[in-house]
Amino acid sequence: MNPPHIFAARIAQIDTGIVSHIVPIPPEIGEEYVEAGARRVIALLNGAEVRRYLFQTKDGEHAIMVGKSVIRDLGLPTEEPLIVELRPDPDPDRVDLCPELVAALALDEPASERFYGLSPGRQRSFALHVCGGKRSATREKRALEVARKLRTYTLYDDLRPGENG
């Protein structure tokens, strides 16, 4: 693989029951990453860095997901092409946490132990939920709620240690 790959792409919408925004990856580049086992990537979108999972659409194409908040926060154009620079993520297990989630976990040792014992993908899922809030108050509320649910084993489909499914 010879990263980085640089190409132009337009943000597209897909509807899988929920409307999502994606950046399509040219087929030859997507295949190269999959063959190399590089599923997590760093993409520069008009110079702004995002860390994403390279996934395959139901049509067999490759893409990265960009939410409305990313489009808004980075000021990405939805009608014009953007310049994409793509490379494998050298730290695929990295999970970026907002200060509100870090603070909530620091205040709740059982929740913190459980959170950091989860897989990077599950940690990333919680981080996206908490850190995706527009306002700090929303992020704080979500962080405290996630910490409480982690501590009390009240997440959806949750089992306490030693319980069988």
pLDDT at 160: 63
For the full predicted model, state whether its pTM sits above 0.95.
no
pLDDT, tens only, 142-160: 999 999 999 998 887 776 6
Question: Are the CB atoms for 102 and 47 separated by under 8 Å?
Answer: no
Q: What is the mean pLDDT of the chain?
A: 90
Q: What is the CATH number of domain 5-88?
A: 2.40.30.100
Domain range annotation of the chain: 5-88, 99-152
Question: Are the CB atoms for 86 and 29 separated by under 8 Å?
Answer: yes
